Structure 1
Amino acid sequence: MSAPSRFDRGHTDDLMTFLSASPTPYHAVASAAERLEKAGFRQVSETDAWEGTSGGKYVLRGGAIVAWYVPEGAAAHTAFRIVGAHTDSPNLRVKPRPDTGAHGWRQVAVEIYGGPLMNSWLDRDLGLAGRLSLRDGSTRLVNVDRPLLRVPQLAIHMDRNVTADGLKLDKQRHLQPVWGLDDTVRDGDLIAFLEDEAGLARGEVTGWDLMTHSVEPPAYLGRDRELVAGPRMDNLLSVHAGTAALAAVATSGADLPYIPVLAAFDHEETGSQSDTGADGPLLGGVLERSVFARGGSYEDRARAFAGTVCLSSDTGHAVHPNYAERHDPTHHPRVNGGPILKVNVNNRYATDGSGRAVFAAACEKAGIPFQTFVSNNSMPCGTTIGPITAARHGISTVDIGVAILSMHSARELCGTEDPHLLANALVAFLQP
């Protein structure tokens, strides 16, 4: 039996391709599914009866994907090893009535999604992508990946105090992008434009989930190219690593004592409360149906869940050279220092001592270093899908990730080595 090949810097090259192909959660799960298909996985429908056969399977629901690999001869009570992540990122999303404008400018009405660093969206060339719902009940992905929109900043001559007082943005008035010139606002213009882009007839689109994205591609940065700048690393970096790790384990031919799983959810940035979010029933339903499809009972389900461990993988904060005082003085995660273990005793992260031991064992097996992140006591701590997963499903969960800078910016920054170090740790976790 052979082990999966060890990921190297080529994994980071592939991450950059994945980021470019995934401007929205819908595109991200489609990209992940395509990669899993190449590893032998097949899609199953939630409306069909499931067979208990071995092999790789996945479910797509909106901007979420759950994929799992059943080893040959796996018992109904076989526990799961889960890599959890999320597909959504803070951005500007199109409103139900998108066509607006003033003073000869054509604009698109947008709503703020999540908690973006709003200044990072100013004076940036933006594309538009998402999901179109059609009259016949089907959906179509669309991606205008070229400069289409721009949120212009007010010139300093009209805001003389901006340097001294800082930039102050009103979410309603100051973040509506322009996309042309016209004295007349016509309802339906934007959707008609997207119908043309998608090769659809006029009037076919009856619903939409659309969002802006930076069209600047990911790039290596620095004297020695030791950094990567790119969009949506929070948290497509983890989605990509989890997909690669699951595919590698499934094709390794190794004996697997657990059923490896990838669960990438939507709507983490807004609380996870949706049918595709971590606080919804998607993961639990898939795991239960997997047990029952193999002839299991409720007792088998309980046994499987009791032995299950989830690594909730999300980006974290690298120590910032200009704001080091904002970090805990004894915990300074560095880029290219290996994945981070996130700890918060108030359960904003789900990690405890036993979870640390599981992650430490995976990193030791993979031969990689890891670091620990804990917030400065004077700073409120963020959270992840980790505590939600632990509480909703009663499974042991550990919060981990990769340390980055500029989190929630339209363009974030990580180390070149960390993505493949994370992927190697995930392989070792899924295939202990």
Structure 2
Amino acid sequence: MERDNTWKTYSQDELMAVEQINNSYKTCLDEGKTERECVKVTVRMLEERGYKSLGSMIEEGAALKAGDKVYAVCMGKSVVAFHIGSRPLEHGMNILGAHIDSPRIDVKQNPLYENEELSYLDTHYYGGIKKYQWVTLPLALHGVVAKKDGSLVEIHIGDKEEDPVFAVTDLLVHLASKQMEKKANAVIEGEKLDLLFASRPVKNDDSLDKEEKEAVKANVLHILEASYGISEEDFVSAELEIVPAGNARDCGIDRSMIMAYGQDDRVCAFTSLFALLDVEKVEKTACCILVDKEEIGSVGATGMHSRFFENVLAELVALAGDASDLRIRRALQNSKMLSSDVSAAFDPMFAETFEKRSSAFFGKGLVFNKFTGSRGKSGSNDANAEYLAQIRRAMDTKNVAYQFAELGKVDAGGGGTIAYIMANYGMEVIDSGVAVLCMHAPWEITSKADVYEAYKGYKAFIEEM
């Protein structure tokens, strides 16, 4: 089925709305380059719109009622927010779920070393990346260092104009004849993704042993102590992430696209958040959950496999006056969800990898994937036909541009989302999101029109389902 390019349909007012949403989105991308930063941005926006923390409501002994706005945070890396509806929680919720972790390079726990008067940070990449894409780029260092005294030092180096940047080096082409013969997954090995950190040795330092051979590393430690109050031992309790340096930018001579790091899946996360913030009265409780660890299987306490969401819901049910397990189970089973994750945009440069009739295209709106997985739909949720019909009706009612797609040709590869995890509760779930070019690359590209239609679509889901 052919879909119109939405750029052809917009009025002048709609074009202004497209820019407004995308400007807000770019700001969120710039402020949220890690999952911790995304949570901080989210909480700030929630509180500005009148949301209260679950912890404060429990302390106050508040009774949950229609119209209340509540949020909870898990370990600073996942967040869930609820706009309580007029119908009881056990009637179910309309849930928007996305993830806020993105492929990157992490710093190891014993990372700082010197090799031939160059200082490096030892690393371990996170999520599915093409390792060769991460070399010779300006890189930034974001994260936290937790000290034994309980204080937390925030690190943000590389994104301000006056900041230094970092790099992973590559072999010069003049000497790369053997390297160029390797398969793509071996051109750059994981252990060669170490971050070039410094090259200047400490000078005339009486505290340095005359036999000391790591003068560059010593200088780094002096800088870290002077600038951040941290020692080498503090790396053990640090979470430092290496991400591309630089802000989200308009892409294309027509400024119709956005190029930025981390759009998988923050393009769905922030548009879902915008939608939740902009709805007014709701009958069914509206929920937005933004989680960590999706890129490595949704594991751990901050991933979707944890009981965090279920535990928060139990607290809400208790605040509503009936802490029964049955009410919690009914609330989950009667819910409907959009598992909001990005989809692969058709790329004419690699057309042989796509099946064109079942591909997502730039400018044609929010993408729905009935199933994801790989090979014979392995690991897929595979949404019900009846639920798809309800989705279509909601989108058409609100004049949302949307398309249905699959992730490339059958047997070409595959991917997964958090959909199957939430479906375990018996709720209706379907994958939906924004089409992305260069997915999982350091810099990904989206269409501004699709970002806008995603926001409209998520808002329509909350209001119409």
TM-score scaled by structure 1?
A: 0.90
1:373–1:138 distance in 2 versus 1, CA, 3 Å: farther
Deviation at 1:193, TM superposition (A): 4.8
1:232–1:192 distance in 2 versus 1, CA, 3 Å: farther
Higher alpha-carbon deviation: 158-167 or 317-326: 158-167
> Could you tell me which of 163, 169, 176 is aligned with 2:194?
176
> Could you tell me which of 131, 136, 150 is aligned with 2:167?
150
Q: Which residue of 2 aligns with 1:387?
A: 420
1:397–1:126 distance in 2 versus 1, CA, 3 Å: same
Does the CA-based 8 Å contact 1:118-1:409 persist in structure 2? no
| Per-residue deviation, residues 82-111 of structure 1 (Å, max 9, x unmatched) | 100111111110100120231111111111
Deviation at 1:143, TM superposition (A): 1.5
Q: Which residue of 1 aligns with 2:209?
A: none
Alignment of 1:326 with 2:353, yes or no, is: yes
> Could you tell me which of 303, 312, 323 is aligned with 2:339?
312
Tell me, in whole angstroms, the C-alpha distance in 2 between the residues paired with 1:293 and 1:43. 13
Tell me, in whole angstroms, the C-alpha distance in 2 between the residues paired with 1:66 and 1:34. 13
One-letter amino acid of the structure 2 residue matched with residue 39 of structure 1: R
Tell me, in whole angstroms, the C-alpha distance in 2 between the residues paired with 1:129 and 1:430. 34
Tell me, in whole angstroms, the C-alpha distance in 1 between the residues paired with 2:221 and 2:304. 31
- 1:248-327 mapped onto 2 (5 Å cutoff): 248-249=278-279, 252=280, 254=281, 256-296=282-322, 297-327=324-354
One-letter amino acid of the structure 1 residue matched with residue 418 of structure 2: I
Tell me, in whole angstroms, the C-alpha distance in 1 between the residues paired with 2:94 and 2:226. 44
* Higher-helix-fraction structure: 2
Alignment of 1:211 with 2:225, yes or no, is: no
In the alignment of these two chains, the number of paired residues is 421
| Per-residue deviation, residues 35-59 of structure 1 (Å, max 9, x unmatched) | 1111111223399556333411111
| Per-residue deviation, residues 262-321 of structure 1 (Å, max 9, x unmatched) | 111100001111111001111111122212210123332233222201111011100111
One-letter amino acid of the structure 2 residue matched with residue 409 of structure 1: A
Tell me, in whole angstroms, the C-alpha distance in 1 between the residues paired with 2:457 and 2:305. 26
- 1:306-385 mapped onto 2 (5 Å cutoff): 306-344=333-371, 345-375=377-407, 376-385=409-418
> Could you tell me which of 445, 448, 453 is aligned with 1:413?
445
Higher alpha-carbon deviation: 169-178 or 16-25: 169-178
1:237–1:277 distance in 2 versus 1, CA, 3 Å: same
One-letter amino acid of the structure 1 residue matched with residue 419 of structure 2: G
Deviation at 1:353, TM superposition (A): 1.5
Alignment of 1:128 with 2:128, yes or no, is: no
- 1:218-257 mapped onto 2 (5 Å cutoff): 218-249=248-279, 252=280, 254=281, 256-257=282-283
1:19–1:193 distance in 2 versus 1, CA, 3 Å: farther
Tell me, in whole angstroms, the C-alpha distance in 2 between the residues paired with 1:29 and 1:133. 18
Over the matched positions of the two proteins, sequence identity in percent amounts to: 22
Tell me, in whole angstroms, the C-alpha distance in 2 between the residues paired with 1:34 and 1:193. 32
User: Aligned with 1:142: secondary structure?
Assistant: strand
RMSD between aligned alpha carbons?
2.6
Tell me, in whole angstroms, the C-alpha distance in 1 between the residues paired with 2:251 and 2:64. 46
Q: Which residue of 2 aligns with 1:8?
A: 18
Does the CA-based 8 Å contact 1:305-1:394 persist in structure 2? yes
Deviation at 1:172, TM superposition (A): 3.8
Does the CA-based 8 Å contact 2:224-2:230 persist in structure 1? no
